[in-house]
Structure 1
Amino acid sequence: MGFLPITKEECEARGWSQPDFVLITGDGYIDHPSFGTAIISRLLENRGYKVAVLAQPDWNSKKDFMRFGRPRLGFLVNAGNVDSMVNHYSVFKHKRRTDAYSPGGEAGKRPNRAVIVYSNRAREAYKDVPIIIGGLEASLRRLGHYDYWDDKVRRSVLLDAKADILVYGMGERAVVEIAEALDSGIEAKDIGWIRGTCVKAREIYMDEDTVLLPSFESIVASKKAYAESFALQYKNNDFITAKRLVEQYAEGLYVVQNPPQPPLETLELDDVYGLPYEGTYHPSYEEAGGIPAIKEVEFSIISSRGCFGGCAFCALTYHQGRQVRGRSKESIVKEGRRLAALPGFKGYIHDVGGPTANFRGPACKKQLTRGGCTHKDCLYPAPCSQLEVDHKEYLEILRALRSIEGVKKVFIRSGVRFDYVMADKSDEFLRELCKYHVSGTLKVAPEHISDRVLSYMHKPNKRVFEEFSSKYKKINEQLGLKQYLIPYLISSHPGSTLKDAVELAEFLSDNGFVPDQVQDFYPTPGTLATCMYYTELDPLTMERVYVAKTMEEKKMQRALIHFNKPENRELVRAALVKTGREDLFGKLLRGSGRTQNPYKKEPPLRNQKEKTRSSGNRGGQPLKKSNKRRS
């Protein structure tokens, strides 16, 4: 069928005098189901609507927003696969030099706070055209939220964008319902009932299914009120149990969050991922060298959505929800065969997974009728007694993919939840994982090893990771394979003190782990940990939480994880002195690449400022896959 039109001429070539929708996005146009723009545009096309894609428009004037003329039904606006501020800045607020979602990897192709800027330009172009905002940036900023880059509480993006409707979560159902309502002649201001949306209101009706949140003014004035508001939102995020939430603003305006949409079921997911995607970026980007982000997903398969892992630093609970749903084996294998037939396929399927690769369905049967528990997690502090642990279906899918002609190897890169693996009474999955789906190293995400810090992260305790490491080593020895674990870790997470960071460094040294990816905690909207970072309270218990906020300590905590790097030597030394752990000089500084006596104070590096800065540039780097997470 070809790509959707990105120019007026391409619209005319299709015989369109006017598109029904113009979809504005901060990413370059990639027609692949790892990108929300592709899914929403293809889904609307499937329903008979004409959709033109306005990718990375010039936001300096309204001119580019008039490229296709006046859309018949409305503008659909997203910032791209990543929040535009995360896309632009590292955790240390340094400007990123590249953008994986832009042609040639060139940075600067989208504005800061892209949803707001794009929406305001679209409103300037056509004042009376409905504007519907969605995607990750809008979803996580749907109500009053702490903004790390401004270091203040900002109001709902729906208000700043001057949009009519905000779609949150996975928006397929909501967008189609909005399109049908607009097409029937209902004005956007009157479309206030659709699940998975936020709307503005001048009057509200309070009933038993409505919760009035603390007002915006109160969450700005009081961190305790902010934490209380977040806790109410956190507990009203399941489509079965959630109530309507209302946030009041001083000017007599309310933002109303309707309950979430139910997750797409298996057949619906099969339909969505079976739409006629081109599977790559628009050919107009070839001259610039293409769009780098496609490399991560071109030969990968999304097999599921949602996550019941409940990590405090992850926004998936707030965006995709806790109820996991998976595609059918038939649909996944069909896609595997399609990938194997592509000209550029080298025999390797890079990933088969979702937010967490080895989650395939609801955590328990109760979730299907009662919703997710609001008072406890499925896996933290230990697997729930009702949790159904079963890797059989996932194993069947992997086996079927391995048997496809032309497939040499099937990798699992989107994250395996190791505590879920350990809860499985059978070692069958772990054995096949080691034998067929690992190539030398398996990346896992313990995130930390201090049990106190892990409790704030809502992750399993240190013992579970140690038991998994031991079992992984034993199985590989039985298989005659030399394969290793590489841990993903987070520094400066709320609750982590400098002493906790030293404990982590000592553990890494004692066990010979060399971390591959270290991320300094990045306070992004919508996460439990970000609420802790801002308020220094655990919103679920209202207990005080220690937060490392000075740049000095954050850099020390990060350096301790990479204690073996020469450029981190002075930061590690300073951290050990500050915590009274000079006894670790020999252990942690001996392998830092220098031969000098580690007990002897050395002169500062000539360019210490630049060394320190470079050591932190990777913190918070945007993932290059829409559904990838740290598990």
Structure 2
Amino acid sequence: MGEYLIVSPEDMARRGVQTLDFVCITGDAYVDHPSFGTPLIARWLEREGYAVGLIAQPDFHSTRDFMRLGRPNYAFVVSSGNIDSMVAHYTAAKKRRSDDAYTPGGRAGRRPDRAVIVYCQKLREAYPDVPIVIGGIEASLRRFAHYDYWDDAVRPSILLESGADLLVYGMGELQTSEYARRFAEGRPASSMTDIPGTAVVVDRLPKNLKNAVVCESLEEVSSDKAAYARACKTQYDEQDYVTGRTVYQRHGDVYVRQNPPMRPLTREEFDSVYELPFQYYYHPSYEAEGGVAAIEEVEFSIIHNRGCFGTCNFCALAFHQGRTVTSRSRESVVEEARRFTQNPRFKGYIHDVGGPTANFRVPSCQKQLKYGVCKDRKCLAPTPCKGMSVTHSDYLELLRELRALPGVKKVFIRSGIRFDYLILDPDTTFFRELVQHHISGQLKVAPEHMSDDVLREMGKPPIATFNTFCKMYNKFNREYKKDQYLVPYLMSSHPGSTMRDAIKLAVYLKQSGLRPEQVQDFYPTPGTISTCMFYTGINPLTGRKVYVPRSPQEKAAQRAMLQFFRPQNQASVRESLRRAGREDLIGFGAQCLVPPEPRRRAHEAPLNLPGRGGRGRAAKGRGRPPRGRR
């Protein structure tokens, strides 16, 4: 086994390292695993011959922690961690979270809000002249002027707010190799304006805008929501490594320049990531604090692919990883699983073999490798593209090889299965083996809603597609005598969702016998099409106006409607049904969502109905419920 990365002056002294070439800063605890972006980039740099150190969750109240490993020869590399720091700290209702799975002992508060900005500011205090490279999900999705849900305002590019020299967006291995080589050659950060997959600040536009486009400025998108929507569409249209052009956006007297996306890793390069000497566990210094919970889901899970051509509007993957799917070789994946069997903590269960979407292993069509992905349509929604190649054969063979490994008892698939892609495969072998071998009692799927109007704004297929999948799933479970359930991911209050849509979904759940224990309120995070809709009331892909549930009261009411069966939600559900003119759903009938208000004894206080204005009348007597509400 190798060693952990350098994290202290003692590590440097023990290894005979005088100075480091790069110092990586992360808002996560140090978990030496390829699922954690900063350790991955640090390992990549280390393999290329650079001396690399890592500072995890530095104390951001002073510069002392940031100076722990000294001045790097070339640059600091900064990330907030695997999760956006604001999402890590706040719920969709903007309530402060009480824990953090990426921190030792699960304790919240070890990283600041807007961690990338704060870390860069501290580095500038400590070392004003050392270049700073920012990357990871927080930086990547804020590379242009963007709507910030927590401020409820448009903020400028994070490049300007952080003062960083270079921003890496997307999966960063190849960009890292290029900027590291240029630093080693003695080139200044100011000269690195042309690296694919990066963004920088420049003083002026080039004289020739061939292969470039200018989107609406910070000033325009801050004052004009239609301009914001147009800028969003331009930025999304250029997120293809084959056809993407350089995008400029003016911020006052300067411009943010986003270069076209970096090409994806080849299969051989992708395999090589998993040959790096990861320890596949958190740093031993965290043991006394209770360890790092985030390792639990990934320690014995395998990532076999990158990219996603599903392109749901509420997901940032298309803007971050891109729509072109790449995958590791079966040999690489099997070798990783073989290492599991030599780990004393391994109990024989591989928790997941997936990625952004588990059952995507090849590009959606071969045409896109030469001509790029289509700008004017999605591969799967609202209807599947006729040119799409649908196959699960290679994924199926991979799973069979993993199941056959000595020491492996079960191989589960727990990351998302794209059910609309699955049912397009004329060969049902994979679907059957999924049911037979790869479900741990319940399969998580993401229909998200059932109203076709809402699904269209989400970029999801119509509900009929999910119904077809459910019928096939139930059929195969009966054939193989399996008692396995579907757990649907559902989202409330997405742009386009009215209360009537929420009621439709509740009725669908009642008729289907589904009782979702968790419902996700739509969370407007930077860099998604849906967030643009939330802010502007416009779908940037179509130009159509979209209804947006905004108030906390309406959002809470929609969420309660999807969990109508909970006693604590019944008053809210009754009120929403009355307002929508759907009192037929209040009562004791098979079609009803909630019972009527319970009758009160004469001596009890009158029943207050929330949102009705004033006191409700006390029910007279006991007896049976009134007609029509049984």
What TM-score range do you get, normalising by the shorter chain?
over 0.9
Shift of 1:204: 2.1
Provide the rounded CA distance (Å) in 1 between the counterparts of 2:114 and 2:487: 35
Runs of 5+ unmatched residues, structure 2: 611-630
Shift of 1:517: 2.9
Name the residue aligned to 2:430: 429
Name the residue aligned to 2:504: 503
Provide the rounded CA distance (Å) in 2 between the counterparts of 1:456 and 1:491: 13
Q: CA deviation digits over 1:431-452, x for unaligned, max 9? A: 0000000122111100000001
Provide the rounded CA distance (Å) in 1 between the counterparts of 2:440 and 2:466: 20
2:260 aligned partner, one-letter code: P
Matched, 1:542 2:546: no
Provide the rounded CA distance (Å) in 2 between the counterparts of 1:43 and 1:217: 39
Name the residue aligned to 1:486: 487
Instruction: Tell me which of 219, 226, 231 is aligned to 1:217.
Output: 219
Q: CA deviation digits over 1:127-162, x for unaligned, max 9? A: 110000000000000010000000000000001100
Shift of 1:590: 7.0
Name the residue aligned to 1:332: 333
Q: CA deviation digits over 1:182-239, x for unaligned, max 9? A: 1100001111110000011112213221101111101111000000000000110000
Shift of 1:604: 5.2
The answer to whether the Cα contact below 8 Å between 1:488 and 1:516 also exists between their aligned partners in 2 is no
Change in CA separation of 1:605 and 1:103 when aligned onto 2, cut-off 3 Å = farther
Change in CA separation of 1:572 and 1:50 when aligned onto 2, cut-off 3 Å = same
Name the residue aligned to 2:98: 97
Name the residue aligned to 1:555: 556
The answer to whether the Cα contact below 8 Å between 1:565 and 1:593 also exists between their aligned partners in 2 is no
Q: CA deviation digits over 1:484-539, x for unaligned, max 9? A: 21110000000000000000000000110122431000000010000000000011
The answer to whether the Cα contact below 8 Å between 1:412 and 1:437 also exists between their aligned partners in 2 is yes
Shift of 1:596: 3.6
Q: Which moved more, 1:571-580 or 1:216-225?
A: 571-580
Provide the rounded CA distance (Å) in 2 between the counterparts of 1:594 and 1:504: 20
The answer to whether the Cα contact below 8 Å between 1:24 and 1:77 also exists between their aligned partners in 2 is yes
Name the residue aligned to 1:230: 232
1:286-365, aligned counterparts within 5 Å? Answer: 286-365=287-366
1:146 aligned partner, one-letter code: Y
Instruction: Tell me which of 216, 219, 239 is aligned to 2:241.
Output: 239
Shift of 1:85: 0.4
Provide the rounded CA distance (Å) in 2 between the counterparts of 1:236 and 1:597: 61
Provide the rounded CA distance (Å) in 2 between the counterparts of 1:406 and 1:102: 31
Name the residue aligned to 2:119: 118
1:603 aligned partner, one-letter code: L
Provide the rounded CA distance (Å) in 1 between the counterparts of 2:376 and 2:248: 22
Shift of 1:10: 1.1
1:189-228, aligned counterparts within 5 Å? Answer: 189-205=190-206, 206-228=208-230
Name the residue aligned to 1:177: 178
Shift of 1:19: 0.9
Name the residue aligned to 2:400: 399
Name the residue aligned to 1:43: 44
TM-score, normalised via structure 2 length? 0.94
Shift of 1:249: 1.5
Provide the rounded CA distance (Å) in 1 between the counterparts of 2:590 and 2:99: 33
Provide the rounded CA distance (Å) in 2 between the counterparts of 1:126 and 1:256: 25
Name the residue aligned to 2:515: 514
1:455 aligned partner, one-letter code: R
Name the residue aligned to 1:108: 109
Provide the rounded CA distance (Å) in 2 between the counterparts of 1:306 and 1:509: 35
The answer to whether the Cα contact below 8 Å between 2:202 and 2:256 also exists between their aligned partners in 1 is yes
SS in structure 1 opposite 2:222? helix
The answer to whether the Cα contact below 8 Å between 2:574 and 2:586 also exists between their aligned partners in 1 is yes
Name the residue aligned to 1:616: none
The answer to whether the Cα contact below 8 Å between 2:196 and 2:261 also exists between their aligned partners in 1 is yes
Provide the rounded CA distance (Å) in 2 between the counterparts of 1:227 and 1:588: 44
Higher relative contact order (CA 8 A, sep 6+): 1
2:52 aligned partner, one-letter code: V
SS in structure 1 opposite 2:61? coil
Q: Which moved more, 1:448-457 or 1:575-584?
A: 575-584
Name the residue aligned to 1:84: 85
Change in CA separation of 1:605 and 1:349 when aligned onto 2, cut-off 3 Å = farther
1:214 aligned partner, one-letter code: E
SS in structure 2 opposite 1:456? helix
SS in structure 2 opposite 1:423? coil
Change in CA separation of 1:464 and 1:23 when aligned onto 2, cut-off 3 Å = same
Name the residue aligned to 2:450: 449
Runs of 5+ unmatched residues, structure 1: 607-631
Provide the rounded CA distance (Å) in 2 between the counterparts of 1:118 and 1:604: 50
The answer to whether the Cα contact below 8 Å between 1:566 and 1:594 also exists between their aligned partners in 2 is no
Name the residue aligned to 1:26: 27
2:607 aligned partner, one-letter code: P
1:585-624, aligned counterparts within 5 Å? Answer: 585-586=586-587, 596=598, 603=607
The answer to whether the Cα contact below 8 Å between 2:586 and 2:594 also exists between their aligned partners in 1 is no
2:186 aligned partner, one-letter code: G
Name the residue aligned to 1:621: none
Q: Which moved more, 1:57-66 or 1:281-290?
A: 57-66
Q: CA deviation digits over 1:426-474, x for unaligned, max 9? A: 1111100000001221111000000010000110101011111011001
Shift of 1:603: 3.2
Change in CA separation of 1:57 and 1:423 when aligned onto 2, cut-off 3 Å = same
Name the residue aligned to 1:572: 573
SS in structure 1 opposite 2:586? helix
Shift of 1:591: 7.5
Provide the rounded CA distance (Å) in 1 between the counterparts of 2:608 and 2:419: 42
Provide the rounded CA distance (Å) in 2 between the counterparts of 1:483 and 1:30: 34
Provide the rounded CA distance (Å) in 2 between the counterparts of 1:340 and 1:595: 57
Shift of 1:276: 0.9
1:457 aligned partner, one-letter code: M
Q: How many residues align?
A: 604
Provide the rounded CA distance (Å) in 1 between the counterparts of 2:191 and 2:609: 64
Q: Which moved more, 1:136-145 or 1:9-18?
A: 9-18
Change in CA separation of 1:580 and 1:362 when aligned onto 2, cut-off 3 Å = same
Change in CA separation of 1:405 and 1:122 when aligned onto 2, cut-off 3 Å = same
SS in structure 1 opposite 2:293? coil
SS in structure 1 opposite 2:31? coil
Shift of 1:597: 6.2
Provide the rounded CA distance (Å) in 2 between the counterparts of 1:77 and 1:261: 19
The answer to whether the Cα contact below 8 Å between 2:309 and 2:325 also exists between their aligned partners in 1 is yes
Shift of 1:323: 0.1
The answer to whether the Cα contact below 8 Å between 2:358 and 2:417 also exists between their aligned partners in 1 is yes
Name the residue aligned to 2:627: none
1:566 aligned partner, one-letter code: P
The answer to whether the Cα contact below 8 Å between 2:549 and 2:555 also exists between their aligned partners in 1 is yes
Change in CA separation of 1:588 and 1:556 when aligned onto 2, cut-off 3 Å = farther
Name the residue aligned to 1:134: 135
The answer to whether the Cα contact below 8 Å between 1:566 and 1:593 also exists between their aligned partners in 2 is no
Provide the rounded CA distance (Å) in 2 between the counterparts of 1:566 and 1:134: 45
Shift of 1:577: 1.1
Provide the rounded CA distance (Å) in 2 between the counterparts of 1:350 and 1:203: 50
State, as a whole percentage, how many aligned pairs show the same letter.
52
Larger Rg: 2
Provide the rounded CA distance (Å) in 2 between the counterparts of 1:18 and 1:361: 43
Provide the rounded CA distance (Å) in 1 between the counterparts of 2:319 and 2:606: 48
Provide the rounded CA distance (Å) in 1 between the counterparts of 2:506 and 2:259: 45
Change in CA separation of 1:239 and 1:318 when aligned onto 2, cut-off 3 Å = same
Q: CA deviation digits over 1:161-198, x for unaligned, max 9? A: 00000000001100111011011000011111100000
The answer to whether the Cα contact below 8 Å between 2:574 and 2:594 also exists between their aligned partners in 1 is no
Q: CA deviation digits over 1:396-430, x for unaligned, max 9? A: 00000000111111110111000001111111111
1:518-537, aligned counterparts within 5 Å? Answer: 518-537=519-538
Name the residue aligned to 1:281: 282
SS in structure 2 opposite 1:554? helix
The answer to whether the Cα contact below 8 Å between 2:585 and 2:592 also exists between their aligned partners in 1 is no
Where does structure 1 differ by over 4 angstroms across 4 or more consecutive aligned residues? 587-595
Provide the rounded CA distance (Å) in 2 between the counterparts of 1:169 and 1:523: 20
